[in-house]
Amino acid sequence: MSKFSGRLVLFGGPVLILGAFILLFAVLFSTAPEPERGEVEARPVAVFVTEAEARPVQLTVNTQGEVRPLTEISLTAQVSGRIDYVDPNFVQGGFFEAGQTLVRVEDDDYRLAVTRAEALVSQRRQQLLLEEAEGDLAREEWESLGEGEASALTLRQPQMEDARAQLAAAEASLAEARLNLRRTRISAPFDGRVRSKNADLGQFVGAGSELGEVFSTDEVQIRLPLTDAQLGKLGIPLAFQAGDSEGPTVLLRAMLAGEPREWTGHVVRTDSAINPQTRTLYAIVSVEDPYGSGAEEAGAPLAIGLFVDAFIEGREISQAYILPRSALRGNDTVYVAEEDGTLSVRTVSVIDSNAEEVVVANGVEEGERVITSPVRAAADGMPVTPLGPDGEPLDGLADSDASSADQPEGEDSASVASAG
């Protein structure tokens, strides 16, 4: 065998063997039977549902505000002098009645001024009587001796006018002296409480000195901010004034002394303008006698400065649907489990919502089953298995169907699995 033939056998043999294997693989692949294609059946998703029920709904607006006094003033001295009396209730937090003397300025000088003014009035009155008598005498003399019409000076009319003027001035001085004497006793024209005290016994005060701050306990008010949407729920005009009739009822809540308390008030009016910073309109709520009858319901007074949650009674909707908050997807979407076992995506009109419930006007019908549990990749026509509140399948489905169904994600998934 030649050298060339040996090399051909050495390199050609493996190539022939590889080609034979490739040819055999191609023949086997081309003659192999094709596998039958099977259709994958979608398994229904187990979901919790609640039945939509139409009923009248009373809308409620929730907001917050601070309790403020209706009337609050500064007690100010109108005369000067030394304080010689302070009422025991004139202390921070003290109660007082209308007209009760809280502070008294020493009045000896003012009593003397009254005495002097009374004496002057008596003197001026005597002068007027003397001038009137002189005038009568002059008239009689003129009528008996004179001819024609007597002049005003002859009849002493200017002298009498001057005497009357001096008497009026003396009486005015007496009224002023008596007024200053009354002003030595400082009081408030309403029942109330003392917020602060700035003067005390023995202190000299001048006219205009501030002695303290007091507020009325007859009524308190709370200013509550309202957005445009909240005004729509209340159904009141921008320029609302309750007048003789009561405005919307307001339930006020707060934690006081470690216990929840509730008070009842009414909206009496709205502010005259919208706040330019917050773009809200304030409603004014009034609570009468917050330290008396207004405190009986809560068992505690509605204290000034307390921050309260307010729930205002709004419009009444004749027919709406109240659903769990978990039923709402996004801003205006809910899922409904149809009678044929499929999912339907619905768009609803949301009237109101909070952390627990959502109120919708339309988009669902009476008796329809609204899905409340999470659904992954929801789409119209998706097969679902509706479950009741107890986790049992509805429509007479077998327990095995629910147990074999895919479980929804989220907190309810464990419940669905255990129910299956």
Q: Where are the domains of the chain?
A: 47-54+319-419, 62-69+218-317, 72-215
Place of tokens 């979407």: 333
Please report, in angstroms and rounded to a whole number, the separation of the first and last CA atoms in the chain: 82
> Would you put residue 197 in left (φ > 0), alpha (ψ -120 to 50) or beta?
beta
| C-alpha distance from residue 151 to each of 133, 135, 147 (Å) | 17, 12, 11
Residue 15's pLDDT is: 65
Strand order in the sheet with 204-205: 185-186, 103-105, 81-86, 204-205
pLDDT in tens, 378-414: 889 999 999 888 778 876 443 434 443 444 444 443 3
* pLDDT tier, 163 (very low <50, low <70, confident <90, very high otherwise): confident
CATH 2.40.30.170 fits 62-69+218-317, yes or no: yes
pLDDT in tens, 307-353: 999 999 988 888 899 999 999 998 899 999 998 889 999 999 998 88
Q: Specify the CATH architecture of the domain 72-215.
A: Beta Barrel (2.40)
Tokens matching residue 210? 């501030």
Tokens matching residue 404? 């074999």
pLDDT in tens, 148-160: 676 777 667 788 8
Closest CA to 132 of 169, 162, 106, 104: 162
Residue 403's pLDDT is: 40
184 burial level (CB within 10 Å; 0-12, 13-18, 19+): buried
pTM of the predicted model over 0.75: no
Tokens matching residue 330? 């996004």
DSSP strand pairing (384-387 vs 307-324): unpaired
2.40.50.140, 3.40.50.720, 3.40.50.12240, 2.40.420.20: CATH of 47-54+319-419: 2.40.420.20
The CB-based long-range contact list for 342-345 (8 Å cut-off, 24+ gap) reads 342/380, 342/381, 342/382, 342/383, 342/384, 343/45, 343/47, 343/371, 343/375, 343/378, 343/379, 343/380, 343/381, 343/382, 343/383, 343/384, 344/380, 345/378, 345/379, 345/380
**CA–CA gap between residue 328 and residue 140 (Å, rounded):** 107
Yes or no: say if 309 and 64 are a contact pair by the CB < 8 Å rule: yes
Tokens matching residue 306? 């307390």
